[in-house]
Chain A
């Protein structure tokens, strides 16, 4: 069975600080990996995704994530956060069977 673990439940940073959110998954086969973001009062939306190829993927708003297959990890990073990055971030795994599994989410609060 698939599972996703996000290490941090709540992260508080000051503007311009660097961000790294951890995500580990458990699945024996090929997976597609996603980070979704939910800004206050808005829908869940895709931040970035990895299907294949370069394990370092870039998404919207300066976010990037690195897939490390040997560690079953897909950590999200941003060099310098802004107040507008305050949101809840979800890591998700989807196998070719189609079922998506989401992590519990990490709430990021950026202090101005």
Chain B
């Protein structure tokens, strides 16, 4: 089976812009979670989707949003980018919530 894929792998944006990141889960996985990884904050949970519904949301401002499509692919969007949004954004999929998560390579976002 192909692993979790994330696009793009690298992204450079400027403050105030918005960005959309994409995640394709492992085939058959219906749960997708997003995390922000930074050296200072570690892995921070953003949100989790299962069957197109957001089940959980972390403590991030409303500028961070996401969605899941009927084929389980997921996107996350960050509007009005700030310098502090520079991070590695990881997507993880699992067959159902609470099972083992399989991580993608991440999208490295740099905000200038």
Contact = CB atoms under 8 A, between A and B. Distances in A.
Interface residues of B, number: 23
Interface of A: 32, 34, 36, 43-46, 49, 90, 94-105
Q: Is the interface of A mostly helix, strand, loop or mixed?
A: strand
B98 interface: yes
Nearest to A48: B100
B90 A96 contact: no
Contacts of B100: 34, 46, 49
B104 A98 contact: no
A102 B42 contact: yes
Contacts of B31: 98
Given A43-B104, A99-B48, A90 B43 contact: yes
Interface in B58-111: 90, 92, 97-106
Given A43-B103, A44-B90, A46-B100, A99 B45 contact: yes
